[in-house]
């Protein structure tokens, strides 16, 4: 079944248009990466899907429920948002931070069931050893895992990730994306992420969406999409695309000034 259907989505900040008539479908158990230059609308699209911004056009969840007609709480049960790991959290332990993810499901009192779910998710993401540490004391990689854990505690059908690898070193970048991919494949939820690194996107995604000027420039599986031509027209960069273990990887050579402007 389809998780999210986006039809004719437009968004602008004042007169500056960010997304224009964008169409996109997020399928079941799929890792979908949004790539494109700065200002192409990746983060804006993530925020529109999470109803943080209010766009024009239609976003349907779950094969038919209109996002705009749902309450925030209902959206929170369907979509879990993972902010960048640089996000600050007011004094809160790791346990409490993840427990917060239960908010859409629980009342004032924390049920035993909520605690059980938090404990399970902490073990799944290997953060149980610092359960009662303060979030602010963690390293970037640990923070990212806790933030993913919080989103998973919402028991969502879709995970939205905003630059999940920024501010992480190479090892933690791989670990964060390994985690996301294995959860998607194990549980059947889908992940939509905005990501800058084309090689990581290619390696961990089922579907790549290339955004340019607020609309979908190309969509498909990573190996057919990451071509010299596409990279030139999206980023204005001359690149060599090589192949390793049937996966493409991009080596940027030089910037082509002016050729992909606009």
Partner 1 sequence: MTEAETMTTEFSPENSELKEEYAQFVGRKVLFILLSLVGIAVLAGIAATLGSANITPVEVYTAILARFFPGTFHTTDFIDTIVWQLRLHRVLMGIFAGMGLAVAGSAMQGILKNPLASPFTLGIASAATFGASLAIIMGAGFVTGQYLIVGNAFVFTMLASLIVYGLAKYKGITPETMILAGIAIMYLFSAMTSFLQYVGESEEVQEVVFWMMGSLGRSSWDKVGIIALVTVACTLVLMAFSWDINALGAGDETAKSLGVNVEFVRILCMMMASLITASIICFTGTIGFIGLVAPHITRMVVGGDHRFLLPASGLVGALILLGADTVARTILAPVILPVGIMTSFLGVPFFIYLFLRRRKDYW
Q: What's the distance, Cα to Cα, between the start and end of the chain in Å?
A: 37
CB of 251 to partner 1, least distance (A): 33
| Residue numbers 89-108 binding partner 1 by CB under 8 A | 89-93, 95-97, 100-101, 103-104, 108
List the Cα angle 231/233/234 in 5-degree steps: 65
Q: For residue 10, give every residue at least 6 positions away whose Cβ sits within 8 Å of its Cβ, in sequence order, or none.
A: 17, 19, 20, 21, 22, 55, 56, 57, 214
Q: Which of 56, 66, 136, 220 binds partner 1 (CB under 8 A)?
A: 136
31-35 vs 215-220, strand pairing mode: unpaired
Burial 186-196 (b: 16+ CB within 10 A, else e): eeebbbbbbbe
Closest CA to 82 of 155, 8, 160: 160
Cβ 259 vs Cβ 232: under 8 Å:
yes
Q: Which of 28, 66, 71, 259 binds partner 1 (CB under 8 A)?
A: 71
Find the part of the chain contacting partner 1 (CB under 8 A) among 11-19, 30-38, 78-86, 207-215: 78-86
Q: Does 75 bind partner 1 (CB under 8 A)?
A: yes
Q: Which of 19, 33, 36, 50 binds partner 1 (CB under 8 A)?
A: 50
Q: Does 154 bind partner 1 (CB under 8 A)?
A: yes
Find the part of the chain contacting partner 1 (CB under 8 A) among 23-31, 125-133, 233-241, 252-260: 125-133
Binding site for partner 1 (CB under 8 A): 47, 50-52, 71-77, 79-81, 83, 87-93, 95-97, 100-101, 103-104, 108, 115-116, 119-124, 128, 131-132, 134, 136-137, 154, 160, 182-183, 186-187
């Amino acid at each position: 079944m389809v998780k999210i259907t986006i039809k004719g989505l437009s968004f602008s900040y004042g007169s500056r248009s960010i997304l224009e008539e964008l169409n996109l479908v997020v399928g079941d158990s799929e890792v979908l990466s949004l790539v494109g230059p700065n200002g192409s609308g990746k983060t804006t699209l993530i925020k529109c899907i999470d109803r943080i911004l209010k766009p024009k056009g239609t976003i349907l969840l779950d094969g038919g429920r209109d996002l705009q007609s749902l309450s925030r709480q209902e959206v929170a049960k369907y979509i879990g948002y993972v902010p960048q790991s640089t996000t600050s959290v007011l004094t809160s332990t790791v346990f409490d931070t993840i427990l917060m993810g239960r908010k859409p499901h629980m009342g004032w009192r924390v049920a035993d069931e909520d605690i059980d779910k938090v404990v399970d998710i902490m073990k799944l993401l290997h953060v149980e050893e610092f359960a009662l540490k303060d979030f602010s004391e963690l390293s970037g990689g640990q923070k990212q895992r806790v933030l993913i854990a919080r989103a998973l505690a919402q028991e969502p059908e879709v995970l939205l990730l905003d630059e999940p690898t920024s501010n992480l070193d190479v090892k933690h970048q791989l670990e964060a994306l390994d985690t996301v991919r294995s959860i998607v494949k194990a549980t059947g939820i889908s992940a939509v992420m905005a990501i800058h690194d084309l090689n990581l996107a290619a390696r961990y995604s089922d579907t790549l969406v290339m955004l340019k000027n607020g609309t979908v420039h190309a969509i498909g599986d990573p190996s057919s999409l990451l071509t010299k031509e596409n990279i030139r027209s999206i980023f204005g960069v001359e690149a060599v695309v090589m192949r390793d273990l049937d996966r493409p990887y991009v080596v940027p050579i030089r910037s082509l000034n002016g050729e992909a402007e606009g």
